[in-house]
Structure 1
Amino acid sequence: MKKRYKFLLILLGILILLIFGGFLFLNSLTPTYEGEHDLEGISAEVEVYFDTYGIPHIYADNESDALTALGYVHAQDRLWQMELLRRAGSGKLSEIFGEVTLETDKFFLSLGIDEYNEDNLASMDPNDPVLKLSESYLKGVNQFIESGPTPVEFYLTGLEKSPFEIKDVMNAVAYMGFTFNKGARDIVNTNLLGRLDSIYTAELFEENPNDAIKIPYYQDSTRTDLVAIHEKINHALENLPIPEIYGSNSWVLASEKTATGAVLFENDPHIAQAQPSVWYEAHLVTPDYEKYGYYLAGVPFPLLAHNRKMAHGLTMLANDDTNFYYEENHPTDTTLYKFKDEWRKFEYVSKTIKVKEVGDVEFQYKKTHRGPIVNANYANRTRVIVDTPVSMHWIYTQFENQMLHGLFELNHANSIDEFEASLPKIHAPGLNVMYGDAEGNVAWWGTAKLYRMPDSTSTKFILDGASGEDDPLEYLDFSKNPRCINPPQNYVFSANNQPDSTAGMYVPGYFSKSWHRAGRIVDAMNEKPLGWTRQDMADLANDVELRTASEFLVDCLSAVDVDKLNETQVAYVEKLLDWDGTFGLKSIGGVFYEKFRDNLHRELFADEFDSMEEYYSYGNQLKLHKVFENEDSAWWDNVTTTDIKESKSAILAATFDVTWKELSAAYGDDTETWTWDRVHFLEHDHPIGRVESLRKYFNVGPFPSVGTGETLNNQGFRTLEDGSYKVTSIPSTRRIIDFSDIENSISILPTGQSGNPMSKHYKDQAEMYVNGEFRKMMMNEQEIKANSEDKLVFTLKN
């Protein structure tokens, strides 16, 4: 018995040692926020003060030293994110995740981002000051890689750390540029055009007044499987372990509209939810430069930023900077394609992809002068090609990459004129650049390399590549891009809505409906023409009213025969008729609205397709609002009921019945409990959190979440199998800059500043975020130094 007791004590001791050792190991992975650390490449001591939320305030004698320190602290909080971002654009994710990301790597390799950036880098002057500052930043990143603790994700995946290069920075920017692009919808549109009778497609493809449609060159889908192309692109993007950018809001108010007589600035870019969140905040101060910025992982210059003079932010322009073309094969030589009156050679590119647990995978793709062929991978040059090739033309890789220089210049501008002069260097992705300054200027520019197409040629379909007649006629000079500077209404705004016409045409693209977020902003400005405060801006950023939702529901319910309803249904309908269109946690109308819309969409459109799978593949392009406004639309008739022709009112009544039964079955008969917080939730997903046993350690949440898709507090979602709504896209930050009190401007991140799960700042803003709260963006040096929780001093390495 004593031997057994002694054995148990020894076993317990070993267990305690293992736990203690594990604790010490995990603690060793925590970012260093205090003390002293030697740093190569700096010319003088650099002080870094971390505020309550882990945001570094970096004080240095010069910008090069500040960027070296930034690189180090950025890496210690976000190295895993940096690693993923540089790998995504260069097709190297499978080395970490295995075969699950193989198609993703193939797709991004075929875009040619890596070679494009190599060519651009080779043409740059190695003494270029922008490159030199970028290298200073990378010195800090690489010193952390060499001497800092290895993030836990590297241990879990078995990945070795490796130094960063300038090309990695450029690849990261290029990847984020592609996620702005929604051009793959062209493929779905083309397939719909061939799949459905014109009585159906006419309503779907209405366009802007001077962007009228001609029926495009169309290939029989038996030769080219367009659904497969779209699914291939979607599959590549779905398996990305880093977030895509979806949309954004911004509005900037001139002094005439504000209570203080100073400019107020708001920006909240909408990005797929993820952990860590996209932006890393940092405040850099030198004797001749100060900037409070929001940085992408591995990028030395902020995309969103402000100082005491000016502020800028971004939203997605949503212009169509990707076009697809049918290419014509030579009848006997499959290595040739036709362009105008000549036969050109396809270019064949071979790549090797390192795939975890598989080894090297050889991959070959071919390309035309426009870009890669996207509907097939070709293993060798002798393969018999039966499909009509479809090439993808992406503007980003067609022109010189000056993105880093553009970001540098707009962050170093000292006036609105200098700021505007930097913008032509950002040719893609298309951005709405929002601006406000201490002198009272407000402005918006659409930055992109815009182009003019032949009359009546729509870019929203696959175009004719062989004739050359669907190629752009000209690329416009930046002076012809849309813009709005100090307008008479005293504010500018952007919510991914269609810009006004410019250069005699509308910008082609995939824009958000103007009557939702954009309309809500305009309504708010009209309702309160004067006297705006910082709190008013914060309230509008958190707004959860879906504009036109209540009117839509009233129209739908008018088709319901009240005499056929029971007492409970009548009482609930009365509440729905009084619903204000808001999506708060206890919203009584939000659940019914979203379920009703889903069911109505299915009732209208699904019967025209051979299967539900086929219907869902077209879902985003089947616009409910266009059909809803036309009660004579052919879509109202259910083609599976050949003996009757359904009317709008009949479909609406049937949809009510379906929705009522669905909600009753899921949530019970007490309609008081059919509230938004029961169905709509936000969970910030970490790539490692896809492993169920690790989910609770890496993911943040879930939290019940307010808002819905296209409210200003944009909380887009996908429907899970159990009928609940998982939020997929969110405001990636909410920033409000007050030029009357710049040191008390406010912001919030969705989770926390650090991407390191061991950091105390991994999720310390998460509950504040879902509650619609803000925190200060500190700029006052005395306040920062007096109140910072931690101080890290970088000293010159001997």
Structure 2
Amino acid sequence: MRTLKRIGKFLLVILVLLTIGIVIFIYKLKPDYSGEQELVQLDKEVSVYYDNYGIPHIYGENEKDAFRALGYVHAQDRLWQMELLRRIASGGLSEVFGKDLVGTDKFFLSLGIADASKITVANLDEDNEGVVLARAYLDGINQFIAEGPTPIEFYLTGIDKEEFVLEDMYNTIGYMAFSFAMAHKTDPLLTTINSKLGPDYLKDLHIGSDVTTEWIKNFKPSQNDSIQNNLTATVNKALGVLNVPLFEGSNSWVIGPEKTKNGKVILANDPHIGFAQPSVWFEAHIETPNYSKYGYHIAGIPFPLLAHNRKSAYGITMFENDDVDFYYEQENPDNDKQYLTPNGYVAYEIVNKTIKVKDSADIEFTYKKSIHGPILNGIADQIQGDRPIAMSWIYTQMDNKVIDALFGLSHSNNLKEFKTALPKIHAPGLNIMYGDVKGNVAWFATAQLYNIPDSVNTKLIYEVGEGLPLQKDLFSFNENPQAINPPSHYVYSANNQPDSIAGMLYPGYYLPENRAKRIVELLEPKNDWDKDSASEMITDVTSSVDPIIIADLAKLIDINLLSETGLKVIDSLKMWNGNYNLQSVEATVFNRWIYYYLKNTFKDELGEELFTQFLGTHFMKRLIAPLSRNESSVWWDDVSTTDVTENMQYIVNKSFSEAITSLKKDFGKNSEKWKWKNVHTIEHAHPIGQIAALRSFFNVGPYPIEGGREVINNMSFSYDETGFYKTSSGPSTRRIVDFSDIENSISILPTGQSGNPFSKHYKDQAEMYVKGKFRKMMMNEDEIKKNAESTLMLIPLVK
């Protein structure tokens, strides 16, 4: 008995010691928001005041010190995110996650982002002020790597921390540029439809510029063969599994003083990005004698993409212009290492790469490059067929000055200085929204645009000897779409069709007019906007287009075919105002109906794989409304049947019946239980959260959430057979800057400021976000210091 007691006491001691060890380990992994920390190369002391949401307010006596401090505190909360983002473009994911990511690494290496980054960095002017501050920022990151606690993800994946260099910064920017591009999803798919089904099947897909839709209007003051269809299917799937944020859309509007209650500009912005944990933006407020900015930073990038101070504010949406082209190459039948050019057959450039793979030997691979760009065949499994396809991407073909541009935007003090930085953004295409304390409002479509003749269809893979020439006819920035202080007294962007460029409608992958139409509908009649009404608008969940679609489709419904439930539901749908609140039954029925409507219209011609890829395109979203008015479309006939020639009415009725049947199966006959909250949810997933036992620790959610596809509060999701909609992307922040009360401007993040799961700020905004609430973006120094939750003093290292 005594022996058992002794063993029991011994085991208890071991358990206590183990518990203490775990507690100490966890404590050491937490971010340190208080105390003192010596930083190398720091000239003067920097004070970092953390507010109640863990946002650092950095006060320094010079910019180099402030940006060095920014690097340190940014890494403290987001080092794992920085690590993941820098690895994508440089082909480093397999080293962390194993052989399943080899195809993704091959694809990104072949894009040439990492090679372009090396060239850019090699040609940098080391005395350039932006470069100096970028290196100071990296110094801060690297000191945290050397001396700070190692994030738990590094332990779980078994990788070592390594210093950050300037190439990493440009690689992250390159990944952003890729994630904006839609051509990879669209052009090969459309080429296959054209070759498999014929040009008549392209006519109703609404892939061109639309002269009937809601445009963003220009205003310049007088003084101013068989291939696989989606080249990135496997890549996007892999990045989705890793929960890496993909940039997808966005809203923004800037209201001039003539339309606001207090006579001052109001800027609203909510960039739409794939949901992940941690969320994409890191907020930081920096004050020095010569620099003041409250900014939103991408992991590993020193200068904010969204920012404001007391003088001006800016935000972004995605331009969605077409800056990627695909070319068929003709290989020499006697030598597959050569291809045809206007000067005869020439040798491909052969590029050799090495990929490090976790728990496996390194993989060596080569790919070919033509004058147009990398040959994508053989790089990833999803690219099939014998015809070589080359990709031409303007991002890797021009001098990269994007970091210079971000430096210029963040350091501008007025509209003139702000405009000077914009031409430096050659890619990715961005809509830059601007407002200032002097009452100016402006929208600029920024990208290096070039002349595209009407005879060239940029949405198809170019045949040999066709397409755009290598030396493009570049437009000057002044010809880009833009509006400065227009007569409407507001500017906006919702990724929709921009106005003409040099007399042409520029090709792009623009989203439907739904959000734009609603934005204009709300902005136009109202002339007393304030912060509260702007915050209501940015969380608006009503579609102006969906009720119109229902009205068009409902005309074709044969009520004699409907059950009692079907009759009740169709009557309710006809009365629906397009609201996507949690209690809406109509939202659930509409989306279930639209899925079957698309499936019954397109799947017979496309097949399972092509149809799935079709559902992930922007043009699919654009065609729903016009197709609901087009009874003569070639797509209505079901080619899998021989005895019946189907028409639109048949498809509409069949789809509605299938939607009702599936909803009854999922929720029962009582349609009151078919509420939006039961099918539409959000979960912010962390890569480590894929492990079931760790999901609840790393992931945030799930929560039922209101909003839906292409409403202002754009909680997007993919259609599939399940009829349950897991929100994949949406507002990465909601932000209202009011120049009548700049110190009380408001914002919110989807989860929290920190990417460290042991931080109290890992998910402290998540429920506020779901409920459409906001918090203050503090700028008043006295208020910040008085209410600081903690203070971290960064002091020069004493040698």
How does the TM-score come out when normalised to structure 2? 0.95
Q: CA deviation at 1:240?
A: 4.9
Shift, 1:233, TM fit? 4.8
Aligned to 1:87: 87
What is the CA distance between 1:773 and its match in structure 2? 0.3
Q: CA deviation at 1:627?
A: 2.6
For residues 775-786 of structure 1, what are the structure 2 equivalents within 5 Å?
775-786=775-786
Which range moves more in the overlay, 599-608 or 260-269? 599-608
CA drift of 1:144 comes to: 0.5
**1:18 corresponds to which residue?**
18
Structure 1 position 557, deviation (Å): 2.8
- 8 A contact 1:243–1:271 mirrored in 2: yes
Report 1:143-162 matches (<5 A): 143-162=143-162
Give, in whole Å, the separation in 1 of the partners of 2:290 and 2:134: 18
SS at match of 2:362: strand
Match of 1:313 in 2: 315
What secondary structure, in the 3-state scheme, does the structure 2 residue paired with 1:716 have? coil
1:611-760 paired onto structure 2 within 5 Å: 611-619=607-615, 620=617, 622=620, 623-719=623-719, 722-760=722-760
State the partner residue of 2:521: 523
Say yes or no: does 1:419 pair with 2:421: no
Superposed CA offset, 1:73-124 (max 9, x none): 0000000000011111111111111112111111110111111111111112
Separation (CA, whole Å) in 2 of partners of 1:126 and 1:371:
30
| Equivalent residue for 2:581, pick from 578, 584, 587 | 584
Specify the code of the residue in structure 1 equivalent to 2:520.
V
The 2-side partners of 1:685 and 1:231 are apart by 20
3-state secondary structure, aligned to 1:660:
helix
1:510 aligns with 2:512: no
Give the equivalent residue in structure 1 for 2:480. 481
Letter in 1 for 2:30: T
Aligned-residue offset at 1:145: 0.5
With the length of structure 1 as denominator, give the TM-score of the two structures: 0.95
Question: Do structure 1's residue 405 and structure 2's residue 401 form an aligned pair?
Answer: no
Amino acid at match of 1:612: E
| 2:243–2:277 Cα contact (<8 Å) kept | no
Match of 1:324? 326
Confirm whether residue 352 of structure 1 aligns to residue 328 of structure 2. Answer: no
User: In structure 2, how many angstroms separate the alpha carbons of the residues matched to 1:378 and 1:480?
Assistant: 38
- Contact 1:321–1:394, Cα closer than 8 Å, also in 2: yes
The Cα offsets for residues 56-89 of structure 1, whole Å up to 9 and x where unpaired, read as 0000000100001111000000000000111111
Q: Deviations over 1:177-201 (max 9, x none)?
A: 1111111111111111011133322
Instruction: Indicate conservation of the 8 Å contact 1:636/1:648, yes or no.
Output: yes
Q: Is the 8 A contact 1:459 1:508 kept in 2?
A: yes
- Matched with 2:222 is none
Write out aligned runs for 1:338-377 (5 A): 338-377=340-379
Say if 1:452 and 1:472, in contact at 8 Å, map to a contact too: no
Secondary structure of the structure 1 residue equivalent to 2:336: coil
Structure 1 contact 444–484 (Cα < 8 Å) conserved: yes
Deviation, structure 1 residue 398:
0.6
Letter of the aligned partner of 1:604 in structure 2?
T
Identity %: 48
Distance 1:728 1:228 in 2: 19
Question: What CA deviation, in whole Å up to 9, does each residue of 1:427-476 have, x standing for no partner?
Answer: 10000000000000000001001011233111111113435665565011
> What residue number does 1:463 align with?
462
Instruction: For 1:133-152, list aligned pairs within 5 A.
Output: 133-152=133-152
Specify the alignment match of 2:595 in structure 1: 598
1:230 Cα deviation after fit = 5.2
Whole-angstrom distance in 2 between the partners of 1:236 and 1:389 = 24
Mean CA deviation greater in 78-87 or 648-657: 648-657
The answer to whether structure 1 residue 261 and structure 2 residue 263 are counterparts is: yes
Q: In 2, distance between residues paired with 1:242 and 1:686?
A: 9
1:569 and 1:332, CA in 2 relative to 1: closer, same or farther beyond 3 A?
A: closer
Distance of 1:491 and 1:248 partners within structure 2: 17
Q: Deviations over 1:222-243 (max 9, x none)?
A: xxx2337454554555455411
Moved more, 15-24 or 260-269: 15-24
Contact 1:276–1:752 at 8 Å: present in 2 too?
yes
Q: Among residues 523, 536, 545, which one is paired with 1:539 in the alignment?
A: 536
What one-letter code is carried by the residue in structure 1 that aligns with 2:101? T
Show CA shifts across 1:3-60 (max 9, x none).
Answer: 2233122212211221121011011100000111111111111100000000000000
In 2, Cα distance between equivalents of 1:68 and 1:145: 13
- Partner deviation per Cα, 1:523-560 (whole Å, 9 max, x = no partner): 001232x0011111101110111222122223323333
Q: Distance in 2 between matches of 1:451 and 1:663?
A: 49
How does 1:201-280 map onto structure 2 within 5 Å?
A: 201-205=202-206, 207-208=208-209, 220-221=225-226, 225-227=227-229, 229=231, 231-235=233-237, 237-280=239-282
The CA distance in 2 between the partners of 1:376 and 1:553, in whole Å, is: 45
Displacement of 1:569 after TM fit?
3.4
Does structure 2 conserve the Cα–Cα contact (< 8 Å) formed by 1:312 and 1:433?
A: yes
Q: How far off its partner does 1:509 sit?
A: 0.6
In 2, the alpha carbon distance for the partners of 1:572 and 1:479 equals 52
Aligned partner (choices 284, 295, 298) of residue 296 of structure 1: 298
Query: 8 Å contact 1:188–1:230 — kept in the other structure?
Result: no
Matched ranges for 1:159-170 at <5 A:
159-170=159-170
Change over 3 Å in CA distance of 1:455–1:614 after alignment to 2: closer
Unaligned runs of 5+ in 1: 212-219, 380-384
Query: Alignment partner of 1:474: what SS?
Result: coil
SS at match of 1:500: coil
**How far apart, CA to CA, are the structure 2 residues paired with 1:531 and 1:538?**
14
| CA pair 234-768 structure 1, distance change in 2 beyond 3 A | closer
Q: Aligned residue for 2:217? A: none
Structure 1 match to 2:3: 3
Closer/same/farther in 2, CA of residues 229 and 182 from structure 1, 3 Å limit: closer
Q: Distance in 2 between matches of 1:469 and 1:578?
A: 49
* Counterpart residue type for residue 277 of structure 1: S
The 3-state SS of whatever aligns with 2:682 is: strand
Is the Cα–Cα contact under 8 Å of residues 583 and 708 in structure 1 kept in the other structure? yes
Q: Secondary structure at the match of 1:443?
A: strand
Q: How many residues align?
A: 779
Tell me the amino acid that sits aligned with residue 452 of structure 1: N
Which deviations, in whole Å up to 9, do the C-alpha atoms of 1:702-730 show, x marking residues without a partner?
00011111011011113566532111001
Q: Which residue of 1 aligns with 2:221?
A: none
Matched residue type, 1:191: T
CA shift in 2, pair 1:233/1:188, >3 Å: farther
Q: 1:492 to 1:197 in 2, by over 3 A?
A: same
Amino acid across the alignment from 1:351: K
What CA distance in whole angstroms lies between the structure 2 residues aligned with 1:183 and 1:19? Answer: 53
Equivalent residue letter for 1:271: I
Partner in structure 1 of residue 62 of structure 2: 62
Flag the 1:682–1:469 CA change in 2: closer, same or farther, 3 A. closer
- The residue type equivalent to 1:486 in the other structure is N
1: distance between equivalents of 2:332 and 2:663? 57
Alignment match, 1:217? none
For 1:386 and 1:183, the matched residues in 2 are separated by 19
2:611 maps to amino acid: Y
CA distance in 2, matches of 1:149, 1:473: 50
1:764 aligns with 2:760: no
Report the equivalent of 2:450: 451
Distance (Å, rounded) in 2 between the aligned partners of 1:732 and 1:476: 32
Query: Aligned letter for 2:297?
Result: Y
Do the aligned partners of 1:683 and 1:702 also contact (CA within 8 Å) in 2?
A: yes
Quick one: distance in 2 between partners of 1:571 and 1:319? 44
